[in-house]
Each structure stands twice: as C-alpha cells, then as structure tokens.
A and B are shown apart, each in its own frame.
Chain A
Amino acid sequence: MNDVLDVILRLVAVLVAFLVLPLVVGQTEHKVMAHMQGRLGPMYAGGFHGWAQLVADGVKFAQKEDVVPADADRKIFQLAPAVALLPYLLVLIVIPIGPNGFVGQAIDAGLFFVLAVMGVGVLGSLMAGWASANKFSLLGGLRTAAQLMAYELPMLLAAASVAMAAGTLSLPGIVQAYQWWWTPWQIIGAFIFFTAGLAELQRPPFDMPVADSEIIFGAYTEYTGLRFALFLLAEYAGIVVLCALTTVLFLGGWHGPGPDSIGWVWTLLKTAVLAFLVIWLRVTYPRLREDQLMKFAWTVLIPLSLLQIALTGVVKVVIQ
C-alpha cells in the first residue's frame, strides 16, 4: 500500500512539474524577449505584469475549433500532438533533481532511456507533417526528419562521452560521480549536447522546420486550438528537459555549495540559467539556412564530438 502511494505521489509531482515548468519558461521567454527588444511584453493578463498571459492563451486555445483538413490522415493527424508531447513527460520522470532518490524513477540505463525517448518526440512533428496533406507541412516534416538525422548523432556522441567519464549510464550515478573538473574536461561535449538539443527542439537559430517566412509554420501549419497548443507546450517542455539533462550530465546536477538537502535548488537554478540561455540565443541570432544547418552538424559538431570522445578516453586511461 505504501509503495503504491509512493509511486502515485512521485508521478503526480512529475506531472505537476511537467505542467508548471514549461509555462514558467514560456512566460520568462515572453518577458525576457520583450525586454531584450526594448519592449515590456504582456502587462495585463492576471494584473501583475501579465503573469497569467499563458493561462489566458491556454483558455483561448481551448475555445478554438478543432479543425482537421478534409484530405488529412485523420487518426495520425489527431495523434501527432500527443506523440510530440508525451516523450518529454516520460523523460522528466527519470531526471534526478536531488540526491538520495529525489527522482521520479531511477533507471539503471537512464541515459540510454532518455536519448531514445527524446528521439520519439521528433516523430510527432514528422507525423504531423505527413498527415496534414499540405505541401508546407510536408516540407516542414521532412526538414524535421533531416534535422533529427543530423543532430541526433553528435548529441549521442556527447552523451556517450559523459557516460564514459562516469563509467555508468544511470543519471543519478553520473551526477554522483561528478567532480568539478569535469566541466572544463567535457566543455566541448556540453556545447555539442546543448546545441544539438536546441536543433532537435527546433529552437531558433535552428528553427528551419517551422521557418515561418519560408514554409508558414512547417508541420504545424494545419493545426489549431488545443492540438496546436500541445505542440507549443511540447517545445517548452523540451526546453525544460534539455536544460535539466545538460545540468545533470555536464554541470553536476545537485552539486554546489551548501548541504545535500538543498541540492534540488542547485539543479533547478542551473536549469533555469540554461533556459535563460536558450531564450537569449533565440532573441540574438537569426535563423540559419537549411544547408548551413546541415553543414554545421556534419562538418563541425560530429568531428568535435569525436574529438571529445577521444579526449575523454585519453584522460580516463591516464588517470586510472
């Protein structure tokens, strides 16, 4: 009975985090982007500096008609937002927040699980693009697929480097083994992992799959109402997951000054700083061209990640 209660409590906590953190990131993006552009951003919803803007947006989305195009592949079209969103919920379960089992569910091959499931999320965009029966959606879906192919590889290699360094695939195990000098040692890997993650989330400057000036909104062109909102939520949940993973793998998770009991604060703080960085990059840089995107992945990131793996291996052998 106690076990059941424990599981339920953990799942509820993860679900709450999954519903709240993306909204916090989204609201932060509204405000940070506005101030970086010399604006104020939302000021009315909720009274105090527009804090409830995303709630109001959600209400608006819920009121809209749910349109499925006549030629669309109905089932696939309606299923796609769930496929895009749910993997991030699953990933959030295994990300450790603090020491001593402060995690939804620790998995021995956690890193493997996380990377495999995150790859599924991109499938949602692909399904949406194909099922919409719209040329822009199809182009967006294919760009998504190409981007997934190009960026999954360096992301895996960078993560593999960390697994080599820690000698374990378990996420709490990796954080446990972390030493402060890992960050300079794995700095290339961290850069590659973060950049590739941005590309996989289709965040600017890697947002060619939804490039609105070229292909309207890519795979999401035909979506309205709640299903569209789910795709947007998936993007922000993806930011949370990516930032939390980068924190866990490269920045030492809960390690930081102070006792272990406030370790979760450090994890959340590092995640928040990375999320700010994601927003900052979006505001600062223009979108790359599709061919530049591919060139960057294959000629820069993959060689760099191989270099990182070699470096990790050499250092690992030397210190043993």
Chain B
Amino acid sequence: MAIPGSGLAKGLAVTLRTMTRRSVTAQYPDAQPDLPPRSRGVIALFEENCTVCMLCARECPDWCIYIDSHKETVPAAVPGGRDRSRNVLDRFAIDFSLCMYCGICIEVCPFDALFWSPEFEYAETDILELTHERDKLRDWMWTVPAPPALDPGAEEPKEIAAARKSAEKQAAAAAAAAAAAQGPDPEPAPEQPEGDA
C-alpha cells in the first residue's frame, strides 16, 4: 500500500524533471532539420537516364506524371547498317499537388532516372505552381544524397563486380604482354586476348 498522495508527488517530480532537461523542440526555420537517410522530400529526375519508357507515368496511382516525347532517327553508325530510332524527352513534369509520395515511380523506373531527394521546402501559394517541370526536377537531382553504404562483408553490387572483373582481366593481359616483350622468352607470345567486358 503506497503512502496516500505519493502519486501526486510523483506527478510533480515528473514535470520538474522534464523542466530541467533540454527541450525537444526543433527550431525549424532557424535550424535545418536533421532528416534521416532516404527521406521522401521530393522526386528528382536524372533526365540523362530517362528513355521515355512511360512506366512511371503508367504506374503512378494518381496519374501525376506528365511525359511528352518524340522519336528521332539516328543514322546508321556503320555503312550498310540500319537507321536506329530513339525517344527524345520533350516534357517531364510531376504535379506535386496530386503526388502522394508513394514512390512507385522510383521503384518501377528500370533505368534509375528517378530518385528521392530530402529537399522539402517547395511550398507555393498557388496550387498550379506545384506542377514542376523537368529543369526543376533535374535541379533537385543535385540534392539527392549518395546511396547508403553497404553493410560490412556484403556481396558487392553486380555492376561493380562486372566492371572490376573486366578491369582485372585487362590488367593481367597488359602485365603478360609487358612480360613477353621484356623477358628472355624463347617462344613468341601466343595471340593476345583482348579484355572485353
């Protein structure tokens, strides 16, 4: 059985203790918030990677991505080859008054052209001004943080593994060629394997 009134004293102690601690208020406009990695602030477009495949626009649940494009013909690279056609992006816009920040467009992009940026200060006074065009989206690309580092001991990413393998192959071939040219090798070196990735 507790002493009568001990609960009241405990309450007073809690408030007094809280008063002596540092307050948790974030003084936002004066001090920038410390956002966690992968914060969903705004969607940035790396338009050099975009192939106008339209997957993002089609998957968007509220249809807030607008893409216009046209086809251009690229003349054949070698004589007798075929002319290629490629898509050229004319307009890429995201209406952030409709966007619900689900990130499906970023997930679905097969060419890594869309990224989350932690930038969040893009409020407007007119809802129409929330439709941001490709130049603005491209500018936001500069605010995209580097991807978080891999866990220690993790398997290295496929792209890097492939690039490293080919680089090693080339280096080995170059070393072998150098050895063949200098060393007192009685036999002529066999055909040089070209490092091809």
Contact = CB atoms under 8 A, between A and B. Distances in A.
Contacts of A39: 23-25
B12 A35 contact: no
B11 to A, nearest CB: 5
Q: How large is the interface on B (under 10, 10 to 19, 20 to 34, 35 or more residues)?
A: 10 to 19
Interface string A267-308: 000000000000011011100000000000000000000000
Contact of B11 (A32, A38, A43, A285): A285
Q: Give the size category of A's interface with B.
A: 10 to 19
A37 B19 CA distance: 7
Task: Give chain A's interface secondary structure class.
Answer: helix
A51 to B, nearest CB: 17
A34 B18 CA distance: 10
A38 B23 CA distance: 4
B158 interface: no
Given A38-B23, A40-B23, A40-B25, A280 B15 contact: yes
B14 A35 contact: no
Nearest to A31: B19
B16 A38 contact: no
Nearest to B24: A38
B19 A32 contact: yes
B18 A280 contact: no
A38 B18 contact: yes
A40 B15 CA distance: 14
A40 B19 contact: no
Nearest to B25: A40
A280 B23 contact: no
Given A285-B8, A285-B11, A280 B25 contact: no
Interface string B1-37: 0000000100110111011010111010000000000
Contacts of B21: 38
A35 B8 contact: no
Interface string A30-63: 0010111111100100000000000000000000
A202 B16 CA distance: 23
B31 to A, nearest CB: 12
Contacts, number: 33
A35 B16 contact: no
Given A38-B18, A284-B15, A285-B11, A43 B27 contact: yes
Contacts of B12: 280-281, 284
Contacts of B23: 34-35, 38-40
Given A35-B18, A35-B19, A284 B25 contact: no
A37 B18 contact: yes
Interface in B19-70: 19, 21, 23-25, 27
A234 to B, nearest CB: 26
A39 B11 CA distance: 18
Contacts of A284: 11-12, 14-15
B20 to A, nearest CB: 8
A283 B27 contact: no
Nearest to B12: A284
A40 B22 CA distance: 9
B67 to A, nearest CB: 44
Given A39-B23, A284-B11, 13 more contacts: A32-B19, A35-B23, A36-B15, A38-B23, A40-B23, A40-B27, A280-B12, A281-B12, A283-B15, A284-B12, A284-B14, A285-B8, A285-B11
10 contacts: A32-B19, A36-B15, A36-B16, A36-B18, A38-B18, A39-B23, A40-B23, A40-B25, A284-B12, A285-B11
Q: Which A-B residue pairs are the 3 nearest by beta carbons? A: A40-B25, A36-B15, A35-B19
